[in-house]
């Protein structure tokens, strides 16, 4: 797998979901991606696979806020809701390799299965799935099922005993690796297609980064452990592996990471109160 920039090009992306207003954390993420990209190589991608929560008005607000911050990007903008056939093709490829199974478990089922004292490890997506549906065949899949990756079988198929990636912000020059055993016990069989969506964050981000030729993925440190999942999917789908840059998070006065419910820190509100783009830069970069 290739790591880092292809032909020396540093191409980054900012990929928000249009489910609420952009806040200072988003400003920091977008500006960081733009600063680390070569000229003309900063892309915007709209992650709108959750149709129940995404809104056109929030998508329009994303464009308005980012333009106000002085950012620009090539057109057209990739929208995940328009790429369901590509995600289906990736799922079909993994299914043909015998690596997927349908899962009918709900959260309550998983919680009940994890009630034993030796169970209950937490992974990037919450409690590690106990494998209740692992024996089910894809031929049994119905509209109410999620689709999971059989992680143990994936490592066996690849003939690997570990997976990893390079990060230029976290211990640069050192490859971050996770053994197959630790991946299985600490992350588990991740969902690659959620009910009613046809895909998941993990699958779509890997497919889309490859499609857009992203060579440097910038995102918060809260997603660091998820990158092991993406490295595994890149290996399975024979996709190039970008270099990663997991940056710090913008937090409130109590140290809590900002979320979209933090409307008081929305970029649009600061703008309405008379702040300039330079003021936002100073807030998130400490003077820029």
Contact 33, 27 (CB under 8 A): no
Residue 194 has pLDDT above 90, yes or no: yes
Please choose, from the candidates 224, 170, 229, the residue with its C-alpha nearest in 3D space to the C-alpha of residue 201: 229
Q: Give the Cα separation of 120 and 128 in Å (integer).
A: 7
Structure confidence at residue 106 as a pLDDT band (50, 70, 90) = confident
What's this model's pTM, rounded to 2 decimal places? 0.91
Structure confidence at residue 286 as a pLDDT band (50, 70, 90) = confident
Buried/exposed code over 190-201 (b: 16+ C-beta within 10 A; e: otherwise): bbbbeeebbbbb
Q: Which two tokens stand for residue 185?
A: 């016990």
CA atoms within 13 A on the CB side of 58: 18
Q: Give the per-residue pLDDT at 92.
A: 98
Q: Give the Cα separation of 128 and 114 in Å (integer).
A: 9
Mean pLDDT value of segment 67-94: 97
Q: Give the per-residue pLDDT at 288.
A: 47
Mean pLDDT value of segment 194-203: 93
Arithmetic mean of pLDDT over the chain:
91
DSSP state of 209: H
Mean pLDDT value of segment 122-136: 90
Domain 12-285 sits in CATH at 3.40.50.620
Condensed to tens digits (0 to 9), the pLDDT of residues 37-46 reads 999 999 999 9
Residue 105 has pLDDT above 80, yes or no: yes
Mean pLDDT value of segment 61-83: 97
Q: Which two tokens stand for residue 43?
A: 């892309």
For the chain, the domains span 12-285
Pinpoint the alpha helices (H) of 126-265: 151-158, 180-186, 201-211, 226-236
């Amino acid at each position: 797998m290739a790591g880092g920039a292809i032909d020396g090009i540093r191409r980054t992306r900012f990929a928000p979901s249009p489910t609420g207003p952009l806040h200072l954390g988003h400003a920091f993420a977008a500006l960081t991606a733009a600063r680390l990209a070569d000229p003309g190589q900063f892309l915007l991608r709209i992650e709108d696979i959750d149709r129940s929560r995404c809104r056109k008005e929030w998508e329009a607000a994303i464009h308005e806020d980012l333009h106000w911050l002085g950012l620009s990007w090539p057109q057209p903008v990739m929208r995940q809701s328009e790429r369901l056939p590509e995600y289906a093709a990736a799922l079909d490829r993994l299914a043909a390799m015998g690596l997927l199974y349908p899962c009918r478990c709900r959260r309550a089922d998983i919680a009940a299965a994890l009630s034993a004292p030796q169970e209950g490890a937490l992974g990037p997506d919450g409690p590690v799935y106990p494998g209740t549906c692992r024996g089910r065949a894809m031929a049994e899949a119905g509209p109410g099922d999620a689709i999971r990756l059989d992680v143990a079988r994936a490592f066996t198929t690849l003939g690997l005993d570990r997976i990893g990636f390079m990060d230029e912000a976290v211990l640069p020059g050192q490859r971050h690796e996770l053994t197959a055993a630790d991946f299985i016990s600490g992350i588990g069989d991740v969902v690659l297609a959620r009910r009613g969506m046809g895909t998941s964050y993990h699958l779509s981000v890997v497919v889309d980064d490859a499609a857009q030729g992203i060579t440097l993925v910038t995102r918060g440190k809260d997603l660091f452990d998820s990158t092991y999942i993406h490295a595994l999917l890149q290996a399975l789908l024979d996709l190039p592996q970008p270099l990663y840059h997991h940056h710090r998070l913008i937090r409130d006065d109590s140290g809590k990471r900002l979320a979209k419910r933090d409307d008081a820190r929305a970029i649009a509100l600061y703008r309405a109160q008379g702040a300039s783009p330079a003021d936002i830069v100073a807030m998130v970069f400490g003077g820029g």
